[in-house]
Amino acid sequence: MAEVQTSTNTGELAQRFIEFVMMQAQNAALFLGQIPNPQTGKGEVNLEVAKMFIDQLAMIQEKTRGNLSNEESAVLRNTLSNLQLAYVEVSRGSSSAAPAEDQTAESPPPKESAVSETPATGAEGESRKKFTKSYGA
């Protein structure tokens, strides 16, 4: 019979949680066209699937409210905010077919520029929440 481990290192659990959040974020970024598809080498946008991953992270944030360490909460909050902002930018840019293809082909530079834009808005650092945008209805 399998033994249940009763004592688990809290630091290890925190690291696993952060890795889980980052994995979900990576999947969302893939479908937002920010990461090239490993099979094709090109960025592809699928807003419906990206929204699903973002909504899952929002659900996790709601369900774990008050049960996360400051670090876990900050990582989840910042990741979710950045993904929501990226979703809004991609959905506004993909209203016509041609610009959407141009954005997906240049996926690595927009990812870097999105990261460089955040410090430009506030020089204190990335730990503060800078954007609170609602995406979708």
What is the per-residue pLDDT across 28-64, written as a single tens digit (0 to 9) for each?
Answer: 999 999 999 888 888 899 999 999 999 999 999 999 9
- Asked if residue 99 is part of any domain, the answer here is yes
Residue 81 is predicted with a pLDDT of 96
- Asked if residue 35 is part of any domain, the answer here is no
63 is written with which tokens?
Answer: 């369900």
Using 50, 70 and 90 to split pLDDT, how confident is the model at 11? confident
- Asked if residue 58 is part of any domain, the answer here is yes
The torsion angles phi and psi of 45, rounded to 5 degrees, stand at -105, 125
Nearest to 82 by CA among 48, 65, 58: 58
Residue 20 has pLDDT above 60, yes or no: yes
- Asked if residue 4 is part of any domain, the answer here is no
- Asked if residue 53 is part of any domain, the answer here is yes
- What is the CB neighbour count within 10 angstroms for residue 103? 19
Residue 134 has pLDDT above 60, yes or no: no
pLDDT in tens, 74-127: 999 999 999 999 999 999 986 544 333 433 333 333 333 333 333 333 444 444
Q: What average pLDDT does the segment 132-137 reach?
A: 55
- Asked if residue 64 is part of any domain, the answer here is yes
Residue numbers of the domain that contains 79: 45-119
Domains: count for the chain = 1
Average pLDDT, the chain: 75
- Asked if residue 23 is part of any domain, the answer here is no
- Asked if residue 2 is part of any domain, the answer here is no
Q: Would the CA dihedral through 111, 114, 120, 122 be positive or negative?
A: negative
